[in-house]
Amino acid sequence: MEFIDYYKVLGISKNATADEIKKAYRKLARKLHPDINPNDKEAQVKFQQLNEANEVLSNPEKRKKYDKYGKDWENGEEYEKYKQQRQHSNASQQQSYSSNDFSGEDFSDYFSSMFGNQGGGNRRSQVKYRGQDIQAQLQIDIKEAYSTHKKEFTVNGKSIRITVPAGIEDQQTIKISGYGGPGTNKGPNGDLYITFSILNTTTFKRVGNDLFFTQDLDLYTAVLGGEITISDFNQAKLKLKVAAGIQNGTKVRLKGKGFPVYKKDGQFGDLYVTYNIAIPTNLSEKEIELFKDLAKATKN
């Protein structure tokens, strides 16, 4: 298997922190994502390598093994067990070996000779290895996240169609079993982990399952009271009664008119409407005189 320098793939140093790894991955994932490069085979290969690099280096245990064993990091534990067995066997024959007896040998070469040149070839071919897990990012609009829908995208050159449940949250990760890297020697495939990035193109602000919206209110309605019509997130018309003398910044709660609750059909958060009283501008001379009269009347 050709060695891939995961640090080089991510463009980071071997001393990179977890945050640096995360930032480097996200930056390159946006650039190399198959949805952005649908017909670029080279970009798809690089994207696959990018996911492999992130899957290993973002996991402290896997990164430790990779730093020690390189491309054969997944088989490092077998190597250590074999080394211990050999040391124990030698010790039983009253031969002394230090813990560094094998340090002068390259792990990859030693592993190959251990299973390939000492009658162990069949043993290695019988060992089933699980495929690597793959990390992927998928960006959708908040309007798509409002309802359950099908989504098709490409990972490692493979087209995948999934159902995205309504209420999916920004940076939420879901697992698709068996859609990761292929197993070795008929071992099981790894899993695919998809992290969603929700793009908000609306005037609503989402916090969990609740939605927040600012509604302008003219001065006359604020003073005298009345009725207004607004649209909820789903463009349904809602009539609201406004009490006379309502104050700027007053917040009204509309129960059950918020965002769908993830994987709970029929359940929704709440919608909070905050009133912003708009002061009239470009008044006519008559309107100015009326306001002056009103001001005098309130002082008397």
148-185: per-residue pLDDT in tens? 999 988 877 788 899 999 999 999 999 999 888 888 88
Dump pLDDT digits (tens) for 26-48: 888 888 877 777 778 888 788 88
> Hey, what are 36's tokens?
């952005």
Class at the top of the CATH hierarchy for domain 134-199: mainly beta
246 CB-near residues (< 8 Å, 6+ apart) = 217, 222, 225, 275, 277
**One-character DSSP codes across 158-208:** EEEEEEE-TT--TT-EEEETT-SSPPBTTPPP--EEEEEEEE--SS-EEET
The reported pLDDT for the residue numbered 13 is: 92
pTM of the model: 0.57
CATH class of 6-126: mainly alpha
Question: By three-state DSSP, how is residue 127 classified?
Answer: coil
Give me the CATH topology for the region 205-299. HSP40/DNAj peptide-binding domain (2.60.260)
Q: What is the mean pLDDT of the chain?
A: 83
pLDDT tens per residue across span 251-261: 999 999 999 99
Backbone torsions φ then ψ of 181, nearest 5 degrees: -70, 150
Regions of the chain with pLDDT less than 70: 1-3, 76-126, 300
Domain positions in the chain are 6-126, 134-199, 205-299
Q: Which residues contact 244 (CB under 8 A, 6 or more apart)?
A: 223, 224, 225
**How far apart, in whole angstroms, are the C-alpha atoms of residue 238 and residue 231?**
6
DSSP 8-class letter at 45: H
Q: Find the DSSP H helices in the chain.
A: 6-10, 18-32, 41-57, 60-69, 76-92, 107-116, 121-126, 142-145, 219-224, 285-299
Identical topology for domains 6-126 and 205-299: no
Q: How far apart are CA 115 and CA 124, in angstroms?
A: 6
